[in-house]
């Protein structure tokens, strides 16, 4: 893929001098290219019978989750897939959610099955991860798929970690032999992206809430991945000059009084709250880090659009594998 850099977009992030600072890792531009590739593959599968089908299970009525699901289903249709959302009422018991997962597992018309996170209190996400058919697990969260990833033979790479590596590659960021630091050890981002970077021969440090000398460790990184869910946490003191900084955080701030102190100086954020009622910010103080970093991904427009594109890529791959397995079963005399 070609480098994903769109310098003129920096102006919308409060950067006035685009000649002195990082190169932008533009996920929106790259996601568009990936969706076009995915659509071509989906059309081939459609010609063989039916389009790849994604089913999303949504528990409750959290506004952010509603928006995420809507964007996923819309993008799926644009990429030549079919998509549906199964809605469970807020307060539904864990047994009902697990029964719905099992129904999706058994449905031959479903290629990819996704449960929208986060779940309501009282639900154990790992029970849900365990219940999803690993061949339909387009989020790559089933233990079998996690194990395959760590063994270097993934079936489905988790969507956000895959997006991070795609951004680095598209931006021409060297990975092999580089020092990488990952902020955050979640099962769906931190741990798998650390595994992917290790498989690409980076030397990886995985940091978390108990890490000592955090800023010092981060400042040693040539690649810094921020995925901790704390708006504007990463500042210039965390960044090595010339490092690639990938911001995974998606934090919505709707009250100007609750803007983190580090971000108070951002006119862009204050104006967004005043004009639109909220501002979407990452885990990185973009304006402060931009002059220090060599590459940087924005929020919005960085990892987010690519994550959705990777979900569609996994859905098409799940559909391809589904057809291959059915063909093998039909040819095997022991299954007749």
Alpha-carbon gap, residue 96 to 88, rounded angstroms:
8
Active site residue 187: no
Instruction: Give percent helix, percent strand, percent coil of the chain, each to the nearest 5.
Output: 45, 15, 40
Alpha-carbon gap, residue 145 to 213, rounded angstroms:
33
Active site residue 33: no
- Give the number of residues written for the chain: 336
| Three-state SS at 316 | helix
Alpha-carbon gap, residue 33 to 1, rounded angstroms:
9
The CA radius of gyration of the chain, in Å to the nearest whole number, is 20
188 phi and psi, to 5 degrees?
-100, -15
Catalytic residue among 26, 137, 139, 247: 139
DSSP 8-state class, residue 156: S
* E strand or H helix that includes residue 182: strand 179-183
C-alpha neighbours within 13 Å on the C-beta side of residue 175 = 20
Neighbours of 7 (CB within 10 A): 14
Q: Which residues partner with 281 through β-bridges?
A: 251
Alpha-carbon gap, residue 249 to 262, rounded angstroms:
15
Catalytic residue among 116, 136, 247, 283: 116
Catalytic residue among 72, 136, 191, 313: 72
Alpha-carbon gap, residue 236 to 220, rounded angstroms:
12
Helices (H), the chain: 27-47, 63-78, 94-106, 125-131, 143-150, 159-170, 190-199, 214-218, 267-276, 286-289, 303-331
Contacts of 247 (CB under 8 A, 6+ apart): 226, 234, 282, 283, 284, 286, 296, 297, 298, 299, 302, 303
Active site residue 72: yes
Active site residues: 72, 116, 139
């Amino acid at each position: 893929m070609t480098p994903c850099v769109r310098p003129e977009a920096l102006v919308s992030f409060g950067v006035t001098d685009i000649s002195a600072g990082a190169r932008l890792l533009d996920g929106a531009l790259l996601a568009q290219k990936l969706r076009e590739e995915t659509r071509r593959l989906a059309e081939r599968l459609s010609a063989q019978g039916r389009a790849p089908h994604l089913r999303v299970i949504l528990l409750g009525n959290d506004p952010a989750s509603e928006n995420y699901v809507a964007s996923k289903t819309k993008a799926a249709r644009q990429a030549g897939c079919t998509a549906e959302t199964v809605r469970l009422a807020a307060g539904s018991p864990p047994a009902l959610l697990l029964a719905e997962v099992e129904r999706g597992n058994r449905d031959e018309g479903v290629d990819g099955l996704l449960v929208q996170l986060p779940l309501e209190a009282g639900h154990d996400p790992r029970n849900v991860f365990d219940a999803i058919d690993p061949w339909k697990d387009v989020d790559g969260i089933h233990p079998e798929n996690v194990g395959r990833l760590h063994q270097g033979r993934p079936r489905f790479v988790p969507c956000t970690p895959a997006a991070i590596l795609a951004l680095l590659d598209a931006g021409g960021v060297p990975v092999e032999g580089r020092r990488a630091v990952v902020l955050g050890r979640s099962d769906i981002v931190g741990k798998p992206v650390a595994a992917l970077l290790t498989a690409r021969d980076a030397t990886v440090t995985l940091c978390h809430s108990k890490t000592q000398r955090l800023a010092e460790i981060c400042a040693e990184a040539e690649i810094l991945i921020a995925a901790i869910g704390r708006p504007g946490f990463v500042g210039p003191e965390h960044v090595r000059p010339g490092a690639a900084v990938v911001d995974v955080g998606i934090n919505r701030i709707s009250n100007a009084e609750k803007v983190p102190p580090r971000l108070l100086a951002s006119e862009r954020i204050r104006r967004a709250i005043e004009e639109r009622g909220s501002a979407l910010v990452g885990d990185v103080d973009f304006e402060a880090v931009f002059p220090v970093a060599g590459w940087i991904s924005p929020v919005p427009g960085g990892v987010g659009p690519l994550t959705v594109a990777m979900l569609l890529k996994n859905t098409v791959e799940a559909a391809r594998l589904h057809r291959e397995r059915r063909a093998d079963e039909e040819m095997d005399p022991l299954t007749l």
